[in-house]
Structure 1
Amino acid sequence: MWDALNLPPQDMALLIAICFAAGVVRGFSGFALSALVMAAGTIILPPVALIPICWWLEMAASVLMLRGGFKDANKPVVFLLAGASAIGVPLGLWATMSISLEASKTIALVLVAVLAATQLAKIRLPFLATKSGTATAGLCAGIVTGLASIGGMVIALFVLAQNTQAREMRANLVLFLFLGAVTSLVSYSLSGIMDRDAIIRGLALAVPTLAGVWIGKTFFTPKYEPYYKPFCLTLLIGLAAAGLIRMGVSR
């Protein structure tokens, strides 16, 4: 089994724990699965190897959560976001494959920290409330998805500008991430990063991820809705900061 995964047992065990924890957060908040995996998983695999794995995890989580997400989502807005994102993904993939491994890791972790801090500070960008702003947010999300698989964070920032309720925000993210996973598969396949290792690892890690999502969904109640976003964003900042510090120490 370890030969098929092409990973040592201790690394796979750590990835299982990371994916389970990220799944709990995804089930609770509707986003941050890939961002958490990218923030913590770069100590084991480079971002370019994690990105296709995150595709499998996001697809599995989206299928499990899609029913409620489709019902409560603002569909015209999400469809525009997803269409613009599909254009941006190849640009992000090109950037990921054109820079050094260390630079790719650093960019991925810094993006997680900066986007999370921006949202935690409750910064509002009025431009994002317009149709052109929606398209711009989707394009940026696609680029960031191709670069570091954290497009959901960009979309979460967009949703903040709309001042929507937690349930609609969560639904928009769930639907967007499902549509984004469908469209990004084409780019991942054409670029060659969706290889045999990525497929086997993604399928194996989808199991603990789904277990975490199921548990996280049970906590999404009106009682805890005011707390879910600050918790997720604070956790993301901490993980990204820890990853950057670890990279600095290892140099």
Structure 2
Amino acid sequence: MNWFYDMAGLTEQEFWILAGIVVAAGIVRGFSGFALSALIMASAIIILPPVELIPMLWWLEMSASLMMMKGGWADADRKTAYGLVIGGALGWPFGLWLTTSLDVDTSKAIALTIIVVLAALQLTKIRLPFLATTPGLYGSGVVSGIVSGLASVGGMIVALYVLASDASARSMRGTLVLYLFLSSIMSMVIMLSFGVMTTTSITRGLIFALPTMFGVFLGQQLFVERFAAYYRPFCLVLLCSLAGAGLVRTVLA
């Protein structure tokens, strides 16, 4: 099996820890419609730097999106999703430029801080009326693109935007699924142009896509009406905990 771990560029321990992380994150993604990349970024950042995690996460997000597209397309607010994707296309290159320009520790700290702040904003249910406007829609898309390129947590920005519109849990979940699918297509082009989608990233992405899809399948079975009211706080508390712990480890390292 050593050749398999070498192919992924990981030790045996790192490989199985990462496999467990993607299954757990897949369950949350299947249940909530978002937070796959944010959870993996918060947990796996002790194994791989953001510049290596982000291209790997593309494959995991795409595999999850393909599994969830049927329900997501039907439930999504398509106009909102399209606007967010257009804005994201403008912000992604800048965020990716920051990731490739900063040193590893700084990039880790910024990524984890972004996750904590965004999760805390949603937990406190802060309402920002500006977000309900057309400039707010495209502005949220631009910001989501920047933090996607920097920390692959653009879904959190989008979730904050949808929260401002008081959308139902099913509509929010569907809009996020559609947004993440469409933005994944756009982000691949950008990552190729920046040269961060390496052979190793592709190999890791394909290897860990299967356990991710297994997790998504399990999470989808949990998305029933009686649990719909609990999915947002569950994800956000988990994100705050993981990112906070990771931030402490990064600062103390």
Report the TM range for the smaller structure's normalisation.
Answer: over 0.9
2:167 match: secondary structure: coil
Q: Deviations over 1:16-46 (max 9, x none)?
A: 0000000000000000000000000100000
Per-residue deviation, 1:6: 1.2
C-alpha deviations, 1:124-147, integer Å up to 9, x for none? 110000111000000000000000
Name the structure 2 match of 1:174: 177
1:97 aligns with: 100
Per the alignment, residue 146 of structure 1 pairs with 149
Q: What is the 5 A alignment of 1:131-210?
A: 131-210=134-213
Aligned position for 2:225: 222
Unaligned runs of 5+ in 2: none
The 8 Å contact of residues 26 and 213 in structure 2, kept in 1 or not, is answered as yes
Q: Matched residues in 1 for 2:21 and 2:6: separation? A: 21
The TM-score, its normalising length taken from structure 2, stands at 0.98
Query: 1:61 is matched with which residue?
Result: 64
Equivalence map 1:14-93=2 (5 Å): 14-93=17-96
Deviations 1:109-168 (A, max 9, x none): 000000000000000110000111000000000000000000000000000000000000
Structure 2 counterpart of 1:196, one-letter code: T
Stretches of structure 1 that go unaligned for 5 or more consecutive residues are none
Q: CA deviation at 1:249?
A: 2.7
Name the amino acid aligned to 2:52: A
Structure 2 residue identity aligned to 1:91: F
Is the CA contact (8 Å cut-off) linking 2:109 and 2:251 kept in structure 1?
no
- What is the Cα-based RMSD across aligned positions, in Å? 0.6
Give the 3-state SS of the residue equivalent to 2:226 in structure 1. coil
Match of 2:236 in 1: 233
Amino acid at match of 2:181: F
- Cα offsets for 1:43-79 (capped at 9, x unmatched): 0000010000110000000000000100111111110
CA distance in 1, matches of 2:247, 2:178: 31
Structure 2 CA distance for aligned equivalents of residues 12 and 110 of structure 1: 25
Residue 229 of structure 1 deviates from its aligned partner by: 0.4
Runs of at least 4 residues off by over 3 Å: none
